[in-house]
Amino acid sequence: MSLEIKGGTIYREGAFVANEGLVIENGEGVIDVGNSFLLPGLCDVHVHFREPGQEYKETIETGSRAAARGGFTTVCTMPNLNPPPGDLDALRVSLACIERGRASGAAIQIVPYGTITRARDGRGELSDMEALAPYVCGFSDDGTGVQDRANMRAAMELAKSVGRLIVAHCEDDELVRSGRIRESEWRQIERDVKLADETGCGYHVCHISCRESVEVIREAKKSGVDVTCETAPHYLLLDTDTLERDINAAPAFGGRYKMNPPIKDRADRIALIEGALDGTVDMIATDHAPHSDAEKRTGFAKSLNGITGLECAFPALYTWLVQAGAMPLERLVEMMADAPRRRFGFADNGYSVWDFETPYRIDSATFCSKGKWTPFDGWPVYGRNRMTICDGRIVWKG
Ligand code: DOR
């Protein structure tokens, strides 16, 4: 059996061409997509689905639906969970949740991370990477930086020996305590690219947010280090120039702008866009990090760190980068589908079908995610996902 998709414009090997009829094995039926754009299934290597441990914020079921609605057919789930997947017993709990959640939610590809340190606290004993490796897309202590250089070196040696990436949330606690927030990010990247060079380990940096990080990674790439990085939609579309105005306009909604790392200055935003255009910044990941209403409606200062991303990332970026003339659509698709799949070794597994003609406003009340807090709430956008197809099955229909 097969599913035939007719009409529209399709993304093929980095370019858009008229769709002359797309046949998908395992599916069933014929669909005419009219003037829509057929994009590959998007891939987000950085999401928090909170299960096991904090199901009141999100579950695999709700998170997978949010992903499918956002056009994503592959996501990688971060390990700040309870129990953190630092050994096989703990990972099995995560894998069982994923299995169950995909069955009741959306049947997309969900691949977990294992932790770098056993307790995912950036310190002490390393995880059982050898046992975890067959089941995970890489190792990360996301939420926390690995504080000690010797520990990171040992982690890289171990990750390399089992053929997996180290995926680093870079944050030096000591520098944060002394208020040097930007340095806390880029100094750790600077340390790690040297270690990656010395150990030969594949190294990927999470959510870079400042211009120095772009510069350090640009130089490391020039000298041949096996390094890639992601940034997030909010670092590309927001900066402190507009942040204060937005928070002051509606202080009760300040939590919409609260995440770690924090949003930086206009010069950083521009450097990130330049990095995205010249290939220094490889991919865009949402850092989808849902929290409950009670945890976010406390105003900026008291809000927990983390915002919801999956259901608004592509429309926000399409409208405010591509339509605004700052990035070609081809590059955006490359950064949200091809580049993450290449780096993490995921095959293409589906399509998303986008209407770019009908304007609407992002409305978090309609989100499938339990998390309703995003800085893009209310933004006027183009780009409505009509359908997501994963492994021949329609996993979202708008
Ligand atoms: O804003 C954030 N939220 N940054 C992180 O590093 C962790 C994440 C979360 O888990 O909520």
pLDDT 10s per residue in the chain (398 long)? Answer: 899 999 999 999 999 999 999 999 888 899 999 999 999 999 999 999 999 999 999 999 999 999 999 999 999 999 999 999 999 999 999 999 999 999 999 999 999 999 999 999 999 999 999 999 999 999 999 999 999 999 999 999 999 999 999 999 999 999 999 999 999 999 999 999 999 999 999 999 999 999 999 999 999 999 999 999 999 999 999 999 989 999 999 999 999 999 999 999 999 999 999 999 999 999 999 999 999 999 999 999 999 999 999 999 999 999 999 999 999 999 999 999 999 999 999 999 999 999 999 999 999 999 999 999 999 999 999 999 999 999 999 999 99
Do the domain assignments include residue 391?
A: no
Please indicate whether residue 112, judged by its CB atom, sits closer than 6 Å to ligand 1.
no
Nearest CA to ligand 1 atom 10: 289
What separation in Å is there between the alpha carbon of 219 and the centre of ligand 1?
27
Please indicate whether residue 84, judged by its CB atom, sits closer than 6 Å to ligand 1.
no
What separation in Å is there between the alpha carbon of 169 and the centre of ligand 1?
10
CB 214 within 8 A of CB 274: yes
Q: Give me the DSSP letters along 68-90.
A: HHTTEEEEEE---SSS-SSSHHH
Do the domain assignments include residue 92?
A: yes
Please indicate whether residue 206, judged by its CB atom, sits closer than 6 Å to ligand 1.
no
Most distant CA pair in the chain, distance: 62
65 phi, psi to nearest 5 deg: -65, -40
What separation in Å is there between the alpha carbon of 15 and the centre of ligand 1?
34
Listed in order, strand segments (DSSP E) in the chain are: 2-6, 9-12, 15-18, 22-25, 29-32, 37-40, 42-47, 72-77, 109-112, 138-139, 165-168, 203-205, 227-231, 283-284, 350-355, 360-361, 380-381, 384-390, 393-397
Nearest CA to ligand 1 atom 5: 143
Determine whether 338 is an active site residue: no
Calpha distance 250→377 (Å, rounded): 13
Selected catalytic residue, list 268, 282, 287, 338: 287
Output the pLDDT for position 234: 98
Do the domain assignments include residue 372?
A: no
Please indicate whether residue 196, judged by its CB atom, sits closer than 6 Å to ligand 1.
no
Q: Which atom of ligand 1 is nearest to the CA of 80?
A: 10
Name the amino acid, one letter, at 122.
Answer: G
Which distant-in-sequence residues (6+ apart) come within 8 Å of 199 by Cβ?
Answer: 153, 156, 157, 160
Do the domain assignments include residue 85?
A: yes
Please indicate whether residue 80, judged by its CB atom, sits closer than 6 Å to ligand 1.
yes
Q: Give me the DSSP letters along 177-228.
A: HTT-HHHHHHHHHHHHHHHHHHH---EEE----SHHHHHHHHHHHHTT--EE
Which distant-in-sequence residues (6+ apart) come within 8 Å of 26 by Cβ?
Answer: 1, 2, 3, 391, 392, 393
CATH number of the domain bearing residue 241: 3.20.20.140
Do the domain assignments include residue 380?
A: no
Residue to mutate (ligand 1; options 140, 142, 209, 263; most atoms within 8 A of CB): 142
6 phi, psi to nearest 5 deg: -110, 155
Domain that holds residue 169: 41-349
By residue count, the chain amounts to: 398
Do the domain assignments include residue 20?
A: no
**Sign of the torsion formed by the C-alpha atoms of 381, 383, 384 and 385:** negative
Please indicate whether residue 306, judged by its CB atom, sits closer than 6 Å to ligand 1.
yes
Q: Which atom of ligand 1 is nearest to the CA of 258?
A: 1
Do the domain assignments include residue 48?
A: yes
Q: How many domains does the chain have?
A: 1
Output the pLDDT for position 27: 86
Q: What's the predicted TM-score (pTM) here?
A: 0.98
Calpha distance 103→108 (Å, rounded): 10
Residue to mutate (ligand 1; options 173, 305, 373; most atoms within 8 A of CB): 305
Please indicate whether residue 326, judged by its CB atom, sits closer than 6 Å to ligand 1.
no
Closest CA relative to residue 265, chosen from 243, 298, 293, 288: 243
Which distant-in-sequence residues (6+ apart) come within 8 Å of 43 by Cβ?
Answer: 72, 73, 74, 75, 336, 337, 340, 341, 344, 346
Residue 176: CA count within 13 A, CB half-sphere? 12
Do the domain assignments include residue 363?
A: no
CB 386 within 8 A of CB 33: yes
Please indicate whether residue 81, judged by its CB atom, sits closer than 6 Å to ligand 1.
no
**CA-CA distances (angstroms) from residue 68 to 64, 247, 342, 350, 385?**
6, 30, 20, 11, 9
